[in-house]
Structure 1
Amino acid sequence: MNSRKAYHLFIILCGLLVISCRSTSKQTDSAPVQEIDAHLKPAWITSQDSLPKENAWLIFRKKVNIERQDDVSIKIAVDSKYWLYINGEMVVFEGGLKRGPSPDAYYYDEIDISNYLKRGENTLGILMWYFGKDGMSHQSSGYPALMSEVSNQSKKLVVSDASWKVMQHPAYLSKSEPPYPNWRLPESNVVFDARRDIKDWYTPDYSTSQWLNANILPDVNADWSNMRSRPIPQWKDFGLKAYQDSVMFPFESDGDTLIVDLPYNAQITPYLKVQANEGQKISILTDHYKGGSAYNVRAEYITKQGVQEYESMGWMNGEKVFYVIPKGITVLDLKYRETGYDTEFSGSFSCDDAFYNKLWKKARRTLYVTMRDTYMDCPDRERAQWWGDVVLESGEAFYALDRKADALMKKGMYELMNWQRKDSTIFSPIPAGNWDKELPGQMLASIGYYGFWNYYWQTGDLQPLKELYQPVKEYLSVYTLNASGTLDIRQGGWFWGDWGEHKEMELLQNTQYYLALKGLLLLAEELGYKKDADQLSANMSSFKKAFNKHYWKTDHYRSGDYTGKIDDRSQGLAVVSGLAAEDKYDAISKVLQVEKHASPYMEKYILEALFQMGEPELALQRMKERFGVMVNHPTITTLWEGWGIGAEGYGGGTTNHAWSGGGLTLLSQYVAGIAPTSPGYQTFDVKPQPGFLKYIKAVVPSIKGNIHFELSKGEDYKLIIEVPKDSEASIYIPKQFTSISINNGKVDYSTTDTHNIVIVKSGKYIIEGKGN
C-alpha cells in the first residue's frame, strides 16, 4: 500500500438517480418452455421499460429444456457488451465486440456451452451494457437490444423472442456526475447503487414473475448471415487477484484515498468487499483516469446496509488503482481482475546489455495493454484503431506473442477495407461513429509493405489478401503523379505525418506511397496477377528514378519548398522503402547520426534503416539514446506516446502507446537476425547484427513453431539454433570466423563477400567458427 493519505481527486460525487425496484422473491419461473420451430428466426429483443439513451444496463432471462448436453452452442449479438450466466455460473465475462465489421453491421459470438448445461431445465441469464453513444472505436446502432439462439447441431432449442423476460437493471445508474469520459470513448462511467440491486437474478431459483416480456424490434435486420462471427477469442480471464501491496484486512477507512499497486499496466475490473451503512459512495479510478490529458473512465459504488461485495464490469487500465472510501466504512477486501486478449507471451529476447532487455519487455507489455476489441493507440484516452499504430503493433506481435494474436490483425484488415467509402478512400480509426478523417500517410502504411503484406509474409495466410486486393488497388488509384513523375500530395482529412518538428510532408508521403506500391506489387505477384504486376513494376521503376532525380540533394533528400532541418524520418523511409540506393547509404547514415526529430512512431523506420545499411552499432546507440528516459523510468511499465510525459510529449502524452515498441521488432529481426524469406516461415534467415553485443538469446514464435536462438560472439563464434518442423533456415556466419562446424562435424556452406552461409532443415544445431 502506498498510503491512505488524502488525495485531492478531480471528480464530483454523483447524486442518486431514483429507479424503482422490482420484486426479488425467490420462486420458480412460471414461463413455460416452448418447442422451437426449426425455421423460426430469432428477433432483436429489448426491454419494455423506458430506457436511457446512453449507458443502459439490461438483464435477460430464459428457461430452456435440454435433452442432450453435447454439441450445444449459443449465438449472441448485442450492442454493446454482455455477461452470460448459465444456471447461475458465469460463462462469458464481457462478451461482444464494438461495432462494427462494416458500417451498421454487428459481430456475434458463438460459444460452446455444453459443459455448463444439465439434462432438463436450464436457466440463461444475460447482463447487457448498451453504450448508446458513438466513439472513435464504436458506432452505436441506436438499439439497446440483444439477439440470441441456442442450438444443438442443426436443431434450434431457443431463439430470442417475446417469451424472454427482460428489464432494465435498476442498480446501474445511467448518469454519473461530471466529469464524463472524453468524446473519443463510447463507454460511460459505471455507477452502481447497491440499494437497488437484484440479488441472484441470474440463478435458477429466482422468479421473474414481475418482469415484463421482451419487446421485439420489428424493423431491425435479424439475420445471422448479415452479421460477422467473432473472429478473435473471448478474453483471457486471469481471475480475481490481490493487489501487490500488503494490505491488512479488515481495516476502517479514515476517509483518505487508498492507493494500491498493480504489478504492471493492465486492463482490469476492480473489486471490493466492505461493511457499510447505506448510501455511502465509493469512487474507483486509476492513475490513468486523465491519461492523455483527457478524462477517461471511472466507477462509483453506492453502498447498501451491511456486508457487501462488488466488481465493476467496465474495464479500466493503469499502474495504480485509487479507492476513495468514505470514513467509517470497514474494508474487508480489495482485489482486481485482469482480462485481455487471449494470447501467450511466447517470444523473448535477452542480451548482455540490460537496457535492450528492458526495452523489449516494456514494449511487449505496452503491446499487450493496447490489444482488446482491436489494436489500440492507447487503452485510456481513445481505445481507437489508428492504423499507423496497428502496423507497428502487428509487427511486434509476430515476435512477441503466440499466433492467436494474428486474428486481431486479420480482423482489422477486413474492417479497414469494409469501411471503404464510395470514392475509394479509406480512413481510421475504425470502427468509429464520430470520426471520418483520412490520414493519407497512415492509410498508405496500412495497406503497404509493413501492413497487409507483412501479415501474409509472416503467416502465409493468403485468403484475406485475395479478398482485399481489389479494394486496396482501388484506394491506391486515388493517388496521382505530377509532371515530375512524383506524387501529387493528398491532404486527406488530416494532413498528419508524425508528431514533432521538421516534418517534410512531401517526402513522407512519397516514400509511404512507394512502400504501398511495393506491397501491392508483391501481392499481385503472389496472386498471379501478371498484368497488374508488370504495370506496378514499371510504375515503381519510373517513380524511383523521378524521386531520386527530383529530391536527392548531394547528401540528403529534400523537397523544393522545404526549408527546415533535414527530416530524419524521410531519410529513413527512403532507405527501408528501397528508394535510396546503396551509393547513398554513407551520406544518409551521417545525417541520421545528427538529425533526431521523429517521434517514437517514426523512429522505428529510422533505426531499421541503420540496420539495413549495415550500421548495427549506430542503430543500437541511437535506440538507447532516444528511448533511454522511458525505458529507464523506474515505475512506469509501458512506453510513451512521445519522448516525454503529458505536456512534454505529443498528442496528449499518454504513457502507453505501443507505436513506441518498434525496437522490439528490430531487436528480434535484426539484432538476433531472424526473419522469414518466404511466406509463413517456410524458409527464414538467421543473420544476426549484434553490433557491440557479445551475447544474444531469443525465441521467435513463428507460424511454424518456436525458433530458439542463442549467440555467443568473442574471439570465437557460437550459434545455437532450433529450427521448427517443415521449415528451413539459412544461417549467416561472419566471414572472419573460419573452420565452421555444425554439431562438431564438418559442414558444407556457401560464401558471400561478408558471410559464410549454412542451410539447415528442422532440428537443433550448434554452429561454431574460429576467429582469425
Structure 2
Amino acid sequence: MTLFLLAGLAYASATEWKAKWITPMVNQNLPNTWIGFRKQVSVAQVPTEAIARIAVDSKYWLWVNGEIVVREGGLKRGPNRKDTYYDEVDIAPYLREGNNTIAVLVWYFGKDGFSHNSSGKAGLLFDCQTPGIEILSDASWGGSLMNAFSTAPAPEPNFRLSESSIRYDSRRAPKGWQTNHDIHLGECIEIREAGEAPWNKLHKRPIPLWKDFGLTDYVAIEEKIGNTHDMLICTLPYNAHVTPWLKTDVTEGQLIEIYTDNYLKFTGEHILRAEYITGKGQQEFECYGWMNGHKVYYVYPHGMKRPEVKYRETGYNAEFAGEFHCSDPFFEKLWTKAARTLYVNMRDTYMDCPERERAQWTGDAVNEAEQAYYVLSRSADDLTRKWLREIVGWQKPNGQLFAPVPAGNWTKELSGQVLSTIGYFGLWNYYMQTGDRETLADLYDGVKRYLALWQTEHDGTVVFRHGEWQWGDWGSNVDIVAIHNILFYHAIKGMQRTAQALGKTNDARTWAEWMKNFEKGFNDRFWNGKAYRTPGYEGKTDDRVQALAAVIGAAGTDKYPAIVETLHKEYHASPYMERYVMEALFVMGYPEFALERIRQRFEPMVKDDRYTTLYEVWNDKATVNHAWSGGALNVLSRYLCGVAPVEPAYRTFQIVPQPGNINRASTVVPSIAGTIRSSFEKTSKRFTLKISVPDNTTCIVGIERKYAKIALDGKRIWQQGQFIPHSSYGTATQDDDAFVKFTVKAGEWTITADK
C-alpha cells in the first residue's frame, strides 16, 4: 500500500511532543546497527485517524499488528547542520479494538557520507496523540539489537556512502518478533527529550513516503553453473531502485551473495551488496537496503537448490505525467532515457548517481529539477523545494554555501554549482514553475549573504574567487574565470527578479545596475571579436562560456553568428554543461544546428541498448545513470515544442515551437496550473499546431514569421504582416522578429500557418 506524507493536519502539527527518544540499554551506537522496538497498546475505539510522528537516525520499517505500514521510512539527516527530519503516518487503518502491537525496525547507519550527517546515536522517537489514544516511545517499550543483521565483509563501500553492505544470518533471526510477545525484547532506556541533541529540532518530512511497486518477477533469469558457485543473472525492465527477494528451503548455513551489475562495474570504488545465510526450513528474505542497476545477481554454492527470486521496486512518489513524441525516433528515445535517468536519481535527495555516491551535487540538481517540471507529476516539486532549502539551510557561519548537502564528510564550497543553484535557472526557475513565493522569501537573505562574499573589479566583472574547489566542468579546455563570471551574472539575474517579486525595490534596483555594469564590462573584457575568452587563457576556446553567455543573456544578438561558428568547432563540454549549449542554440534561433549537435553528442549513449539511462561522461567508463546528462529532455519540451512559463505558476505561459527539421512532435507538460498539450505537424507549405490550454491560464502562441497567413480554428487572424481583429484571440507585444505572437484563453485550439 502506498502511503503519502500527511500534511496540514491541525491536531498533529499543533501537538507538543510527549514521547522520549529511546534505545536498548545494550546499544553502543556502532555503525550498521539494527534495532527492533515493540510496544503493545490497548485501543477502546479505533479513531478515524491516528497520526504517528516518527523520527530515527537513519531509517525504519513500521508494522502494526504484523502488517507492514512503512517500508524504509525516515530521511537522511538533515535539513541543516544540526537538525533531523520526522515522518507523519496515519496508523488508524491498521488499528483494531483491543490489544494492538506496534513494531519498528531501525537501521542506524552510524557513518557520515556525502548524503547523510550522522547524529552519533541510534534511537527511536514515536509519538501518536489522538483523542482516546496515546502511543509514546518511553521505557515501557521493548527493544533489542537485531543480531541477524551484521556488516558484510570486505570490500566495504566507498567513503561517500553512509550505508553499509548488509549480511543477514537467518539462523539468528527472531522470526515473528513483530507480533510474537513470547520472543522477549530487552529493556529500553529513555535517552533524550524531543528536540534535544544530538537530533535537535525536528522538521516534518517535506516529501512523500516512497512508492512501492510490489514484489515482481524479473523480466528474464539466466542460470550459470560454475565449479564452486552457481549464479542467477536476473534482468530488470529498466534501471530501478530495488530490494531483491528470495525464497528457499535448503539446509542452513548456505551463503547467498546478492549484488547488481553496478557492483561489478565499480570494483575500484566499491558500492553496496548484500549477503544472506540460510536458516532452517522454508524461508524468505528481502534485502532492506536498496540497490540499483539493470541486472541483479544471486550467487550461491554449486549444487545448492536454485532459490525462487523476485524483486521489489521502490522510488520517489511521483508519476510519469509528462510525454514527448517525435517523428524522429532518436529524440524520442533520448527523452525517454533522460526521464528514466532522472527518476533513478531521486530519493531522499536529488542524486548525482544512485550507486557510487548518492550525493546531492547541486549543479546536478539544477538540471534534474528542470527535467522534473516537464516529466513528473507535481509531487516532484517537494524534492526541488527540499533541495533549495537544504542548500541555504546548511550555510556556514561565514556565509559560504557548499555542496553536496546534507553531508557529514564534505564542507567545500563548490562555487560554480552554487551560483547555478541560487540563480536564474535554479531558485528563480523554481518560482516561475511553482509560484512558491514563501520559499523565495525564506531563502533570499541567505543567498544575498553568500553573494556578498564575492567582489567585483572596477569594470563590473567578478574578482576570481578561488574558494575551496574551483570546478567548472569535467573535460578539457575549461575557461574557469569566464565561466565563474557568467555564472555570477546568472545568480544576480535571478536575484534581481526575486527582489522584484518580493517587493524589495531598492535591492532590485541595485541588482539591475550591477547587471548593466557587468554586461558592458564582461563584453569589453572577455569578447575578442570572435568569441569569449579570458585574457591570458591559453586553452582552446571554451564552448561552455559561449553557450552560457548566450542563454543567460550577457551576449547581444550581434554576437550570435560568431558564437554559433565557435560552437560548430569547439566540443569540450561534458553532458552536464552541454545542456546550456543545446539551450543556447535554440535561444539564438538555430534549432537545426541544436538538433544536429544533440544527435552528434548523445547518439552513442542513446543507441546503447545495454542501458535504459544516460552516461555521466561521453562514454560508459564512469556511471551510466547520471541525470545531469538529461538536459535534452527539457530542451525538447521547452524549446522544440516551445512550452515555458511566462508568469509564475503558469498563469501565463507560452507555446512557441522551434521545429527545425523535425516534421512532427508533441509534448504533454504536467504544469502546476494543469496539463498543457501541444503538438505540431509540418509539411512543405503548412504548419499545424494543436494546443490544450488549462483553465484560468493565458497562453502566448508563437508562429515563425516565414508563413504568410495564420488561422485560429479556421478563422484567419494574420495575413501580410498584419493582424485581422477577432474576439477569439488577443495580440501579444510584437517585439520578436522571428515569431508572430498572440494570446488565447483556456480551451482546445488549432492553429494553421500557410506559406
Question: Does the pair score TM above 0.5?
Answer: yes
Question: 1:288 maps to which residue?
Answer: 262
Q: Which residue of 1 aligns with 2:37?
A: 60
- Paired residue for 1:127? 105
Secondary structure, aligned partner of 2:168: strand
2:282 counterpart SS class: strand
Aligned partners of 1:69 and 1:119 also within 8 Å:
no
Structure 1 residues 64-463: aligned runs within 5 Å: 64-66=41-43, 67-152=45-130, 157-173=134-150, 175-203=151-179, 205-208=180-183, 210-218=184-192, 221-222=195-196, 226-245=201-220, 255-291=229-265, 293-463=268-438
Match of 1:687 among 640, 647, 656: 656
The Cα shift of 1:158 comes to: 1.4
Q: CA deviation at 1:212?
A: 2.0
Distance 1:252 1:202 in 2: 39
Alignment partners' CA distance in 2, 1:71 and 1:247? 47
**1:760 equivalent in alignment to 2:744:** yes
* Residues 324, 332 of structure 2: 8 Å contact kept: yes
Instruction: Tell me which residue corresponds to 1:509.
Output: 484
Alpha-carbon separation, structure 1, partners of 2:400 and 2:265: 32
CA distance in 1, matches of 2:748, 2:16: 57
Distance 1:374 1:388 in 2: 13
* Residue matched to 1:556: 531
2:495 counterpart of 1:520: yes
Q: How far does the alpha carbon of each residue in 1:709-763 deviate from its partner, in whole angstroms, 9 at most, with x for none? A: 1100112111110001111111112233344222233444646543332311111
Q: 2:23 aligned with 1:46, yes or no?
A: yes
CA distance in 2, matches of 1:222, 1:423: 25
Taking the aligned partners of 2:202 and 2:389, their CA distance within structure 1 comes to: 13
Question: 2:188 and 2:248 mapped to 1: Cα distance?
Answer: 35
**Aligned residue number for residue 726 of structure 1:** 696
Query: How high is the TM-score relative to the length of structure 1?
Result: 0.91
- Secondary structure class of the residue paired with 1:481: coil
- What amino acid does structure 1 have at the position aligned with 2:712? I
**Once the 2 structures are TM-superposed, how far is the Cα of residue 574 of structure 1 from its aligned partner?**
0.8
Question: Structure 1 counterpart of 2:83, which letter?
Answer: A
Which residue of structure 2 aligns with residue 13 of structure 1? none
* Gap change, CA 1:83 and 1:295, over 3 Å in 2: same
Partner of 1:20: none
Unaligned runs of 5+ residues in structure 2 are 1-14, 718-725
The code of the aligned residue for 1:311 comes to: E
Which amino acid counterpart does residue 494 of structure 1 have in structure 2?
W
Which moved further from structure 2: 373-382 or 143-152? Answer: 143-152
Aligned-residue offset at 1:527:
0.4
Q: 1:698 aligns with which of 667, 672, 696?
A: 667
Q: What CA deviation, in whole Å up to 9, does each residue of 1:351-372 have, x standing for no partner?
A: 1111100100000000000000
Structure 1 unmatched ranges of 5 or more: 1-37, 647-652
For residues 54 and 737 of structure 2, the distance between their equivalents in structure 1, rounded to whole angstroms, comes to 61
Q: Check whether the contact 1:46–1:217 (CA below 8 A) recurs between aligned residues.
A: yes
The 1:105/1:225 distance shift into structure 2, 3 A limit, reads: closer
Three-state SS of the structure 1 residue aligned to 2:20 is coil
Kindly indicate whether residue 710 of structure 2 is the aligned counterpart of residue 740 of structure 1: yes
Distance 1:274 1:212 in 2: 30
CA deviation string 1:321-361 (max 9, x = no partner): 11101123223410000000000001011111111001000
CA distance in 2, matches of 1:310, 1:449: 48
Out of 446, 450, 474, the residue aligned to residue 449 of structure 2 is 474
Are residues 589 and 132 of structure 1, via their aligned partners in 2, closer, same or farther at CA, if it must alter by over 3 Å? same
Question: What amino acid sits opposite 1:768 in the alignment?
Answer: T
Rounded Cα–Cα distance in structure 2 between residues aligned with 1:331 and 1:253:
15
- Structure 2 contact 263–271 (Cα < 8 Å) conserved: yes
Q: Could you tell me how far 1:73 is from its partner in structure 2?
A: 1.2
AA paired with 1:80?
Answer: S
| Distance across 2 between alignment mates of 1:414 and 1:68 | 38
Offset of residue 767 of structure 1: 1.3
Superposed CA offset, 1:468-510 (max 9, x none): 1000000000000123432111122111110000000000000
Q: Distance in 1 between matches of 2:506 and 2:292?
A: 50
Distance 1:143 1:40 in 2: 20
C-alpha distance 303-436 of structure 1, shift in aligned 2 (>3 A)? same
Q: Would you say the 8 A contact 2:29–2:120 is kept in 1?
A: no
3-state SS of paired residue (2:306): strand
Cα pair 1:426 1:438 within 8 Å, conserved? yes
1:591 aligns with 2:566: yes
Secondary structure of the residue aligned to 1:60 is strand
In the other structure, the counterpart of 2:723 is none
2:630 alignment partner, SS class: helix
CA separation of 1:340 and 1:620: change in aligned 2, threshold 3 A: same
Please give the secondary structure, in 2, of the residue aligned with 1:563.
Answer: coil
Change (3 A) 1:621 1:244: same
**What CA RMSD, in Å, does the superposition of the two structures yield over aligned residues?**
1.9
* Deviation for aligned residue 1:641: 0.7
- Which residue of structure 2 lines up, in the alignment, with residue 24 of structure 1? none
1:738 and 1:60 map into 2 onto residues whose CA distance is: 74
How far did residue 152 of structure 1 move? Answer: 1.2
**What's 2:5 paired with?**
none
Amino acid at match of 1:202: Q
The aligned amino acid for 1:69 is P
Q: Is the 8 A contact 2:385 2:439 kept in 1?
A: yes
Tell me the distance in 2 between the aligned counterparts of 1:586 and 1:520. Answer: 30
**Bigger CA drift: 475-484 or 502-511?**
475-484
Aligned residues: 723
- The one-letter code sitting in structure 2 at the alignment partner of 1:500 is G
SS at match of 1:170: coil
In structure 1, C-alpha distance between the alignment counterparts of 2:738 and 2:633, rounded to whole Å: 26
Residue type of the partner of 2:675? N
How many angstroms apart in 1 are the aligned matches of 2:332 and 2:648?
Answer: 28
Give per-residue Cα distances to partners, 1:104-157, cap 9 Å, x unaligned.
21100011111111122211010110000000000100111011111215x661
Question: TM-score scaled to structure 2, two decimals?
Answer: 0.93
